[in-house]
Structure 1
């Protein structure tokens, strides 16, 4: 009798799972080699496609399989030496809050590759990889994106960047020799360009950064003379500027200007005396 009661409970539980949709992941075989994981405590779904052998594997997993729910927590592609690009529509109608692409050979991201996540994506990290082409023009549509980390890739240039929501932009360790302006990122707090061969910053680059707290361009190529108007900081919240390793030996008048209410630490500057203007 007790055994029959337990069996009945198990059957009812299985039936309830089907009826209420408590299995938000697709049939594992339909998305292989991608793996879907459900965290029942937080009620979140994550997908890891690190074993994919091509971008076609990704496309099939998200376009051919049936996804009971399409609003997922995060996507991961790590330690992968096969997926070389993220093509248009690769994720179908599946969206993510966070995406982590780490130690891969992904060299390009199509402007429509991430469009399904434009209303939800808050964090995008493509780092320690081979990225050469990124859809900068698509950023204005990503209204919740706060963190963009493209650290240590192969980007050679960055166009004028526009984002209504971005707060942290990490571009250190690329091959960026040219930046275009003007940029419009009013909520930006952290901007890191360390280790890029940047010899000149666009005029007025910082004027649209009303909330900037920290700027870093250590070991860039800004020296030996920093020209007038190179850095016109308008943020009252600016707290630190990192320019060490640039071989800067002299400043032209008003090469650096800061807000008169700001308290700025020009950390590890080579100049024995640093005089800046105020706005």
Structure 2
């Protein structure tokens, strides 16, 4: 069960000494976690392998779960090899020739800055103190390491995770004032590096910004022995949506029935693609 606590300034500052609470109001989530995406995906892959192995051991039918790292230029390379192909390429989904100018995705580049507290600084971030979500977010990983994010550069097609010195300076100029507004102590931390990524943002609809799910065969407009499906447009909420999006898509793929997916996630097909 999700646990939320409403705190005033005094209570919030007991959790995070030096925290600024402009409206004398803060929401505390005791069960909230920082997730390392790479480690999380590795663990998720291992869990899926374990499920496949357990299913094979309990039945006569062999089940496999494998990872193949191959470069794909177009969807024709899959044709005939698989009953179904689920495309989960984030902002690069539109780079497939069959999907160019057919997906209403809005790309947005984000830069995250990493900081470290100098070793000679006696004061350190409390081991029981939570991370901070405000106009900027501060994700603490131990008492001396924090990531601060994130910038929003709309319509960027720069997928390079590395960040130039100029881009890093620009990000710092944007992020540090926002972080300092709630946690002035960030001024004592040293900048270490910056990294970047592309968000694949879905279109704005009356239902909000929801992921893009559904079968792509009618979008591609080409006959194939394989059924192509999309899980995309998760934007900055991938951790929130990925479990639900995966479960809904898996049910639809197994049953070969897109109607298993709520229409709110498939109505994007009526939206004009972004260019």
Higher RCO (CA-CA < 8 Å; seq separation 6+): 2
Give the TM-score band, short-chain normalised.
Answer: under 0.3
User: Higher strand proportion, which one?
Assistant: 1
Higher helix share: 2
